[in-house]
């Protein structure tokens, strides 16, 4: 299930300057851990309704800003228009860039090192939730969720933590 809305604007300004921006707000939900999750099997294949969660590729916010500035040097331009050397060195150049921001991809907590196939084959066993909040108020790339929010479930039991309940680190590029 995907719900999304997007907006794109583009503007050419004077003197060779132009910019564009696009924004998308979306939410994707599925019940198939095989669609991009790090573990491609359900925790308990008898109850697939418990797998319903944000998709592994869900990004709530995506913003992209791009710009271009055509330098005004060389033949037919504002500066160095009579200089052959200036035209050869600086003519026809432009300065461009992209700024991208996106919210992080959701992640699923897992209990590792469990050999009990009946409760989490192939690393699909999830932990139990404690009363701690999963998300931190000031996340960093090194620590973006609280590990105290999870404990290993009792032997022979499935954990009650859901799929993709950890908000991954945000993405920013320039």
Name the pLDDT band for 24 (thresholds 50, 70, 90): very high
Nearest Cα neighbor of 17 from 89, 72, 65, 64 is 72
Q: Give the C-alpha separation, 104 to 38, whole Å.
A: 15
Report the chain's mean pLDDT, rounded to a whole number.
86
Cα separations in angstroms, 159 against 92, 108, 126, 167, 170: 62, 12, 5, 19, 27
Query: What's the pLDDT tens digit per position in 79-108?
Result: 677 777 777 777 778 889 999 999 999 999
Query: What percent of the residues of the chain are helix, what percent strand, and what percent coil, each to the nearest 5?
Result: 10, 35, 55
For the chain, the residue count is 174
User: Shortest CA distance to 23 belongs to which of 76, 59, 69, 55?
Assistant: 59
Give the single-character DSSP code of 85: H
Q: Kindly indicate the confidence band of residue 123, based on its pLDDT and cuts at 50, 70 and 90.
A: low
Low-confidence winner among 35-49, 64-78, 100-114 (lowest mean pLDDT):
35-49
Q: What is the pLDDT of residue 122?
A: 60
Cα–Cα distance measured from residue 107 to residue 70, given in angstroms and rounded to the nearest whole number: 42
Q: Average pLDDT for residues 135-144, to the nearest whole number?
A: 87
Q: What pLDDT band is residue 128 in, cutting at 50, 70 and 90?
A: very high
- Give how far Cα 123 sits from Cα of 30, 45, 52, 147, 150, Å: 20, 14, 18, 18, 16
Q: Give residues with Cβ within 8 angstroms of 140, minimum separation 6.
A: 169
Q: Looking at residue 53, what is its pLDDT? A: 93
């Amino acid at each position: 299930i995907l719900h999304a809305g997007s907006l794109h604007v583009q503007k050419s300004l004077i003197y060779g300057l132009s910019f564009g921006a696009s924004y998308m707000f979306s939410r994707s939900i599925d019940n198939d851990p095989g669609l991009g999750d790090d573990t491609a099997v359900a925790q308990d294949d008898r109850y697939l309704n418990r797998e319903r969660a944000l998709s592994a590729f869900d990004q709530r916010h995506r913003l992209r800003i791009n710009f271009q500035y055509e330098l005004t040097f060389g033949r037919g331009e504002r500066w160095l228009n009579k200089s052959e050397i200036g035209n050869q060195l600086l003519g026809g150049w432009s300065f461009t860039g992209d700024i991208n921001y996106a919210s992080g991809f959701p992640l699923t907590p897992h209990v590792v090192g469990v050999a009990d196939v009946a409760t989490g084959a192939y690393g699909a066993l999830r932990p139990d939730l404690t009363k701690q909040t999963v998300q931190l108020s000031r996340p960093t790339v090194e620590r973006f969720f609280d590990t105290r929010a999870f404990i290993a479930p009792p032997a022979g039991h499935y954990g009650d933590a859901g799929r993709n309940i950890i908000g991954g680190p945000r993405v920013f590029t320039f």
